[in-house]
Amino acid sequence: MNFLSNRLGFGADYNPEQWSPEVWRDDIRLMREAGVTIVTLGIFSWATVEQEPGRYDFGWLDEVMDLLAAAGIDVSLATGTASPPSWLSRLHPETLPVNHDGVRLSPGSRQHYCPSSPVYREAAVGLAVQMAKRYGTHPALKLWHVGNEYGCHIQECYCDVSADDFRAWLRDRYGDLDGLNAAWSTTFWSQRVTDWADVLPPRTAPTLRNPAQDLDFRRFSSDALLACYRAERAVLQELTPGVPITTNIMGMWEPVADYASWAADFDIVALDIYPEPKDPTAHIDAAFFHDQMRSLGGGRPYMMMETATSAISYRPPNRPKRTGLNRLWSHQAVARGADAVMYFQWRASAGGAEKFHSAVVSHGGADNRIFREAAALGAELSSLSDVAGGRVPADVAIVHDYANWWALELDARPGELKIPERVRAHYAPLWHANVTVDVVPPEADLSAYKLVVVPNLYLCTDAAADGLRRYVEGGGHLLMSFFSGIADECDRIRLGGYPGAFRELLGLRVEEFWPLSDGERAGLSSGGGADLWADHIVPEGAEVLAAYTGGPLPGLPAVTRHAFGAGTATYLGTRPDEHSMRDLVADTLRLAGVAPVVAGLPAGVEAVRRGRHLFLLNHNDHAVHAAGTDLAPRDVAVLRLDRDPASGAAAAPSLQSGAVPPVGEGA
Ligand code: GAL
Ligand code: ZN
């Protein structure tokens, strides 16, 4: 898979079915002007291509494909199956999804299909087959784009077809009803099932549902969506071997699907990401998602398949991106491993639900700053072709797991923990320290990392527990937060003292959890304070780094460290305030011998090394001098590390632009 390997891709979703052939010609002219190298074509074109079942109209698409080929623009061709046409819902209303209250959703939006529906899958695969037969050898075709953002709106369906599919999935996982009853702890509340027909999706019930059932339904639903993707992938592989295949997944704080279990089916990982221009820390979350995408692909380059040139259209007030912000955030993707920068969408729609979403070509055309900034970026990316393919080294890994995410946020836990906040609290100090991080599942091979950070891994498999133990034993350094290692993969408590999976590794036991109320705080003997949670820790070999000076457990240990084998395991029994957390992370980085990409940078400047390049990204709204380089507000410098890849200071020459008159200052 190397269609992008000798240049950085630049482009957008292209939806020509919304426009006339004259506009297509204008599009191609403007694409060339903007330096577009690749478009994702026809994502929502099912109803245009197949207007009646089995009757296809490819004429317009033939013409667009030919125009793009003639212009030397690559096509990531959508199979077009993300939004079924009206006839499918009319002829087969059973393909419409049902929510947990039993309400069948109507067509009229998009993604209105039950992922388990054999009728939907057959129709989707049918279209994919036609697309493959028609365009499999077209010179413009470089990549298949299957569906679109699986699970973006419909993550689960609770209909009877899905219920049957869920049963089949459970039979496969547990063998028989005894296995299922044990896994779901059904002796509690008289939930024992004696007939498969009694096994249901977690539909709305009188009160708290069975958590293991909830958890398995999330797993099943992720697999059902994956099965839709795989069904199309299988026919594409057969009909067009050699053409890479992907689908776009989402960089956002929602556990839509277990992407770690999807990754092996992507020939290249493709990320959609819409950081919020109003959020002053949006770039830190974005950095995390970029790191996650790179890591999903095992370090290989990925594509930023969608982002916005300026305003989005669904988080009002939808503020435009200030001058330079599109460039800055696009470079951030490239710095962290993306080999393509693409937008939703090429031309802003005249009608429909998303007409106020920014595009490369606006409602007023191309004579405006959005287009000029995009075109300048296109030219800049083309001058950076030697960045393509470069690897991003990381000494630190952060553990991130979807089953844990689902489980931790179920009802009736000792305190309200949210994975987005918990992961951010661990990732942000690493970002501020300019340390690059890989995002890995708990069962990953950790041997290459100097430090492994584990935010609140409540649910953990035996394999993960063994792996983390072996990692530290072998000389690794671990930083782990409270409420980890508590439950097994069926959400059953690991008995014999908390935290069952890590007691020996951490050299302690936790007697009770003391979650704090909103606004309640506990001081720390190391200075600063903590909130949210306090473990009652009883050391069993661990040394105490800090004790509580207030709150429910004064004088008891709050932060500990345990020398284990050749490594160390540092444990946080609480949530330290931001400053204390940065100190703790800095201390652990020192212990693990992890150096920043560039030391001593001004706050808000992100440094990332990629191959033989050093990216300096100024996220501040003021100018800075960083690593020997002057950076304007929201400016970027890409330094070629010709002499000494380890030191930014020896770098030359630098590439910067940012010579566009600023818009949105003081906003
Ligand atoms: C994505 C989606 C696009 C478009 C975009 C902007 O989630 O894939 O089709 O809707 O968001 O809202
Ligand atoms: Zn269903």
**pLDDT tens for residues 62-105?**
999 999 999 999 999 999 999 999 999 999 999 999 999 999 99
pLDDT-derived band at 652 (thresholds 50, 70, 90) equals very low
pLDDT-above-90 percentage for the chain = 95
Residue 648: pLDDT over 90: no
pLDDT higher than 60, residue 667: no
- Determine the number of helices (DSSP H) and then strands (DSSP E) in the chain: 17, 28
Going by alpha carbons, the residue nearest to atom 2 of ligand 1 is 149
Q: How far apart are CA 248 and CA 296, in angstroms?
A: 13
pLDDT digits (tens, 9 = 90+) for 174-197: 999 999 999 999 999 999 999 999
How many residues would you count in the chain? 667
Better-predicted residue by pLDDT, 317 or 649: 317
> Cis (ω within 30 of 0) for the bond into 317?
yes
Question: What's the pLDDT band for 4 if we cut at 50, 70, 90?
Answer: confident
Residue closest via CA to ligand 1's atom 6 equals 344
Which atom of ligand 1 has the smallest separation from the CA of 148? 8
Mean pLDDT of 445-456: 98
Of 272, 313, 355, 356, best ligand 1 pocket probe by most atoms within 8 Å of the beta carbon:
272
Ligand 1 pocket, 145 CB below 6 A?
A: no
Cβ–ligand 1 distance for 354 under 6 Å, the answer yes
The reply to whether ligand 1 has any atom less than 6 angstroms from the CB of 520 is: no
Instruction: Output the CA angle 561-563-569, nearest 5 degrees.
Output: 50
Q: How far apart are CA 402 and CA 441, in angstroms?
A: 9
- Predicted confidence band of residue 651 (pLDDT cuts 50, 70, 90): very low
Confidence of residue 374 (pLDDT cuts 50, 70, 90): very high
Burial class for 11, CB neighbours closer than 10 Å (0-12, 13-18, 19+): buried
Beta-strand relationship, 50-52 and 55-56: antiparallel
Task: Give tens-digit pLDDT for 579-594.
Answer: 999 999 999 999 999 9
Residue among 457, 552, 556 nearest 498 (CA):
457
> 473 - beta bridge partners?
none
Q: Are 506 and 563 in contact (CB under 8 A)?
A: no
Q: What are 257's two structure tokens?
A: 């699907």
With a cut of 70, say whether residue 658 has pLDDT above it: no
pTM: 0.97
Q: What is the DSSP letter of 34?
A: H
pLDDT digits (tens, 9 = 90+) for 627-637: 999 999 999 99
Q: Indicate if ligand 1 lies below 6 Å from the C-beta of 152.
A: yes
The answer to whether the CB of 306 is under 6 A from ligand 1 is: yes
Q: Does ligand 1 have an atom closer than 6 angstroms to the CB of 272?
A: yes
For 91-145, write each residue's pLDDT tens digit: 999 999 999 999 999 999 999 999 999 999 999 999 999 999 999 999 999 999 9
49 pLDDT above the threshold of 60: yes
642 pLDDT tier (thresholds 50, 70, 90)? confident
Is 459 within 8 Å of 449 (Cβ atoms)?
no
Structure tokens at 244: 């890479």
> What local confidence, expressed as pLDDT, does residue 2 receive?
57
Mean pLDDT of 597-623: 97
Residue range 318-363, pLDDT digits in tens: 999 999 999 999 999 999 999 999 999 999 999 999 999 999 999 9
Q: How far, in Å, CA of 112 to CA of 262, rounded?
A: 22
Q: For 440, phi and psi rounded to 5 degrees?
A: -130, 155
Cis peptide before 237 (omega within 30 of 0): no
Please report the pLDDT score of residue 6 as a whole number: 87
Active site residues: 149, 306
Question: Counting atoms of ligand 1 from 1, which one is nearest the CA of 149?
Answer: 8
d(CA 615, CA 287): 13
| H helix or E strand, kind and range, residue 287 | helix 282-296
The predicted structure's pLDDT at residue 556: 98
Spatial CB neighbours of 587, under 8 Å, sequence gap ≥ 6: none
pLDDT value of position 438: 98
pLDDT of residue 654: 47
DSSP H/E element including 585:
helix 578-592
Mean per-residue pLDDT of the chain: 95
Q: What percent of the chain has pLDDT over 70?
A: 96
Ligand 1 pocket test: pick from 76, 274, 305, 344 the residue with the most ligand atoms within 8 Å of its Cβ.
344
Compute, in angstroms, the gap from residue 344 CA to the centroid of ligand 1.
6
Mean pLDDT for 550-576 is 98
Structure tokens at 605: 């400047």
d(CA 199, ligand 2 centre) in Å = 15
Report the alpha-carbon distance of residue 152 to residue 249 in Å, rounded: 9
Q: 344: Cβ below 6 Å to ligand 1?
A: yes
Cα(334)–Cα(340) distance, integer angstroms: 7
Backbone angles phi, psi at 554, to 5 degrees: -60, 135
> Is pLDDT of 541 > 80?
yes
CA–CA dist 414, 405 (Å, integer): 15
The answer, yes or no, to whether residue 5 has pLDDT greater than 70, is: no
Nearest CA to ligand 1 atom 5: 344
Instruction: Tell me the pLDDT band of 664, cut-offs 50, 70 and 90.
Output: low
Smallest-distance ligand from the CA of 349 = 1
- The per-residue pLDDT for range 513-532, each reduced to its tens digit, is 999 999 999 999 999 999 99
Q: Hey, how many other C-beta atoms are within 10 angstroms of the C-beta on 438?
A: 23
* Residue 659 clears pLDDT 60, i.e. is over it: no
Average pLDDT over residues 535-553: 97
Ligand number, closest to the Cα atom of 160: 2
Angle at alpha carbon of residue 498, lines to 493 and 503, rounded to 5°: 120
Convert the pLDDT of each residue in 466-495 to its tens digit: 999 999 999 999 999 999 999 999 999 999
